[in-house]
Structure formats: structure tokens, C-alpha cells
């Protein structure tokens, strides 16, 4: 399985695309249209939010129960893929247990963020938090509800009545019209019906017959609802264990966990970020790495590689190897600071990620500076780039098996 080792946007889409070539089934296990995977194949760019990126490689692709699905986004992607010559029926599978992101979730996400003002989380405003909240409160609408028009209407009636009170009385927004919502949902139901599947059984059967199953995480470890930098997190479980929960398989079925980290760090949205770069170098990394959000277009905040946070990601995911992406972005820099420890407010230093937010909020980075390589990366890593990679391996005690050296699919070096 492939998991984001930082705050998302690590370049997982490209690694999934690469490994999907040798997989029989690709599974997305959490999140929804807040994710944005960019894949470049034969000069064509695909930006996918709901469907596992494996679909671009023509692989069977499943969306697990732990995901939230915005039906209009999913249908838009199915339509676009088909228009670009990709088959989807019989290849895309959606768990009937996944929850739907409804228009009121999107409205409430935006309204809450506006109300929070300075204290906002900086969400993607795609309705993710409110949809997962309804799931946990047990008033959500699931993909399988689309299959029965009577149940669908009942659930929509209850939901619209309740959400309209919130929207009107608390946030002073326009209410939703029940009949319009029912009509749209019935259209969505008709389009999505052929894709609804028992994704737990699908994975079980694939594994039983010796097939290779690839799980792809969205977002990243530090955005995990339980283990990330709460409250500046997403509302699902991007860490590796989330895959077993989402697909209803035993955790012992996952035998390899490949973490994906950039050779530096980015973060979108608010929240503490100890290794954040100050000054013009930040702008330079952003431009070189084209660090603007796939979903929101927002500028990403940029930082030097943070090995304290990565060490934590290795631990909570049970990472067995690491892919280091976008190493080429660092090529123009003469010196490369790497954060190896945090200095805490009491003056002590630690190389373990602080368990409590107050320590993390006030942590200062302790950098070690490595030499740059002063040349573009071709088919081999320059000696100083190799040293950068070896330094990361020594610090984390995990093998770096893949290195990303450019946007296109083929710009990945496998390390011996």
C-alpha cells in the first residue's frame, strides 16, 4: 500500500500510477473530492479526485467504505475518462457503504470556515468534514441508499429538513429544495448503479486468487484525524491502518507499506509547520515545484525536509520503504537544510514527534545542512544527491527505493 508521509501532495498519484502497472486491483481507502491526484501520461495530464489513479492505467479501481463520495464529482470524472477513451464500467467499483457528500455538506463546510475566521482550518471546502460528521452521527446517506428510490426519498426528506434549519437559522443561508435534491439524486442513482459493489469481497477474492492489490491513500499521515496535527487535519484516516478498516480486510493482509514523501515539505491550509522556509527560498521552491493546490489552486506553504515528522510517519504506518519525490526541485540549491530535531519550549531537543499539540506548536527546527549537487538530475543520481538520500535512510532507518526526478511518468529512479 501507498501512504502519504507528510501533509498530502507528496506525489502519490505518480507512484500509484507506476505501481498500478504491476497490480491487478487499485483501491482508494479514505477521503473524497478533497484529494487531487495529478498524473501525466504521454504528455496528457489527468487530475483525478474520486476515482483511484489506477484507472488511468486501465486497472480495476475500487472506492472503499471509508471514502466519502460526491456523486456529481464522481460522475464528472467517469464522463471525462470515457470521453478520453478509458473504459469505466466493469473497472470502477464503489462500496455501497461509502457515504455521500451532499450539497449541504459543501455549504456547511464553507459556512463553518467563514464563521471560524482567523481560527479556520483551511479546508478544501468540498464538504468532507460535514459528510464524515453525519456518518459518525449515523444520519449520513450512503451510496447503497441510491439503489432504492423509496429509502432514498425518506433519507433525503430527513436530511433536508434538518440541514435547512442549520443553514437558515445558524448560518443565514438559503435552504435546499427537497424535490430538486430528490430529482438530482435519482439521476445520480441511475448513472452510478452499475458501479456499486461489495468492495470487501472484491479485495478478498482478488487476494485469495493470488492477485496483487494496491491501496492508495489520499492526503497524508499528518492530516490523519487521530494521529495528525489536530484540528488542522482531515476527517478520515490516511494512515496505513485506514485501508484495512475501509475495505473490511484483516490488517495482516497488508504486507508492504510504501511511504511517499517529497524531498522537501509542503502544507496547504493552516496549522503549525516547524520546517517552513522563511524568505525568498520559499517562493523559489514553490515556483520550481509548482506548489499550487490541485483542488483549490491555493499556494502551498513550503518547508525543508522534516525528518522528525517523517520518523513519526515511518512509525505510525509501519512503513517498509520510502519513495522520495521531486528531488529535482532541490537541484538549484547550493545548500540543503534538513530538520533533524525539534527544540521544545523547555530548551530540550527531541528527534521524536511531540505527542502533544502545544509542544508541536512551539517546536523550533534544528537543521543540519547538506551540500547541494549543483546540476540537473539525469538517469543517475549525482553523488551529493545520493548522499542526501542515504542521509534520509540513515536517519529514518528505512530504505528509499524510489526517487522522483520530474513530473512525467518515466521520471522515477528505482534505487538498488
Residues that bind ligand IMP (CB under 6 A): 7-9, 34-36, 121-124, 126, 128-129, 218-219, 223, 232, 234-235, 268-269
Contact 66, 248 (CB under 8 A): no
Question: Does residue 9 have an active-site annotation?
Answer: yes
91 Cβ neighbours under 8 A, 6+ residues apart:
55, 58, 59, 60, 61
Given the complex with ligand IMP, which of 203 and 309 has the nearer CB atom? 309
Q: Which residue is nearest to ligand IMP (CB)?
A: 269
CB of 269 to ligand IMP, least distance (A): 2
Given the complex with ligand IMP, which of 34 and 53 has the nearer CB atom? 34
Own/partner pairs, 83-92, CB within 8 angstroms, 24+ separation: 84/44, 86/55, 86/56, 86/58, 87/58, 88/55, 88/195, 89/194, 89/195, 91/55, 91/58, 91/59, 91/60, 91/61, 92/51, 92/55, 92/60, 92/61, 92/62, 92/63, 92/195
Strands (E), 49-197: 61-63, 68-69, 92-95, 99-100, 196-197
CB of 219 to ligand IMP, least distance (A): 5
Strands (E), 196-290: 196-197, 213-216, 258-262, 265-267
CB of 35 to ligand IMP, least distance (A): 4
Cα separation values, 242 from 68, 114, 148, 233, 252, Å? 14, 30, 29, 15, 13
Contact 323, 401 (CB under 8 A): yes
CB of 10 to ligand IMP, least distance (A): 9
Tell me the chain's radius of gyration from C-alpha atoms: 21
CB of 291 to ligand IMP, least distance (A): 11
CB of 47 to ligand IMP, least distance (A): 11
The one-character DSSP state at 25 is: E
Contact 325, 260 (CB under 8 A): yes
Per the DSSP assignment, residues forming a β-bridge with 31 are 67
Catalytic residue (choose from 17, 37, 188, 227): 37
CB of 128 to ligand IMP, least distance (A): 4
Contact 262, 10 (CB under 8 A): yes
Contact 271, 229 (CB under 8 A): yes
Residue with grid cell 477474492, as numbered in its chain:
205
Given the complex with ligand IMP, which of 291 and 395 has the nearer CB atom? 291
Spatial separation of the C-alpha atoms in residues 69 and 101, rounded to whole Å: 6
Question: Does residue 37 have an active-site annotation?
Answer: yes
Q: Residue 144: helix, strand or coil by DSSP?
A: helix
| Residues labelled as active-site residues | 9, 37
Amino acid at each position: 500500500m501507498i501512504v502519504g508521509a507528510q501533509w498530502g501532495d507528496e506525489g502519490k498519484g505518480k507512484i500509484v500510477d507506476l505501481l498500478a502497472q504491476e497490480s491487478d486491483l487499485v483501491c482508494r481507502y479514505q477521503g473524497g473530492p478533497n484529494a487531487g491526484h495529478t498524473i501525466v501520461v504521454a504528455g496528457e495530464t489527468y487530475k483525478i479526485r474520486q476515482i483511484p489513479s489506477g484507472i488511468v492505467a486501465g486497472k480495476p479501481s475500487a472506492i472503499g467504505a471509508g471514502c466519502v463520495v460526491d456523486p456529481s464529482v464522481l460522475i464528472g470524472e467517469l464522463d471525462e475518462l470515457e470521453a478520453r477513451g478509458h473504459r469505466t464500467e466493469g473497472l470502477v467499483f464503489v462500496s455501497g457503504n461509502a457515504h455521500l457528500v451532499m450539497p449541504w455538506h459543501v455549504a456547511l463546510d464553507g459556512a463553518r470556515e467563514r464563521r471560524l475566521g482567523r481560527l479556520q482550518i483551511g479546508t478544501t471546502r468540498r464538504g468532507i468534514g460535514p459528510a464524515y460528521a453525519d456518518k459518525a452521527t449515523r444520519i449520513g446517506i450512503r451510496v447503497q441508499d441510491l439503489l432504492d428510490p423509496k429509502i432514498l426519498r425518506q433519507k433525503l426528506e430527513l436530511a433536508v429538513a434538518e440541514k435547512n434549519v442549520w443553514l437558515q437559522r445558524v448560518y443565514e443561508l438559503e435552504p435546499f429544495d427537497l424535490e430538486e435534491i430528490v430529482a438530482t439524486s435519482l439521476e445520480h442513482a441511475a448513472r452510478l448503479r452499475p458501479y456499486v459493489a461489495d468492495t470487501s469481497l472484491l479485495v478478498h477474492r482478488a487476494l485469495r486468487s493470488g492477485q496483487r492489490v494496491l491501496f492508495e491513500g489520499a492526503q497524508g499521515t499528518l492530516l490523519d484525524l487521530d494521529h495528525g496535527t489536530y484540528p488542522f487535519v482531515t476527517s478520515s484516516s490516511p494512515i496505513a491502518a485506514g485501508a484495512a478498516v475501509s475495505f473490511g480486510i484483516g490488517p495482516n493482509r497488508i504486507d508492504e507499506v510504501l511511504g511517499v514523501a517529497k524531498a522537501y515539505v509542503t502544507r496547504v491550509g493552516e496549522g503549525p509547520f516547524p520546517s517552513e522556509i522563511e524568505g525568498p527560498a520559499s517562493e523559489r521552491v514553490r515556483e520550481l515545484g509548482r506548489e499550487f493546490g490541485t483542488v483549490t489552486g491555493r499556494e502551498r506553504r513550503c518547508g525543508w525536509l522534516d525528518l522528525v515528522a517523517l520518523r513519526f510517519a515511518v512509525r505510525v504506518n509501519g512503513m517498509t520503504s520510502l519513495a522520495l519525490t521531486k528531488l529535482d526541485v532541490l537541484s538549484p540549491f547550493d545548500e540543503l537544510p534538513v530538520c533533524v530535531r525539534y527544540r521544545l519550549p523547555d530548551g530540550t531537543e527531541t528527534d521524536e514527534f511531540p505527542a502533544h499539540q502545544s509542544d508541536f506548536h512551539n517546536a523550533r527546527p534544528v537543521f543540519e545542512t547538506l551540500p547541494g549537487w549543483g546540476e540537473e538530475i539525469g538517469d543517475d543520481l549525482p553523488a551529493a544527491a545520493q548522499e542526501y538520500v542515504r542521509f534520509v535512510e540513515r536517519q529514518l532507518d528505512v530504505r528509499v527505493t524510489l526517487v522522483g526526478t520530474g513530473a512525467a511518468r518515466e521520471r522515477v529512479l528505482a534505487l538498488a
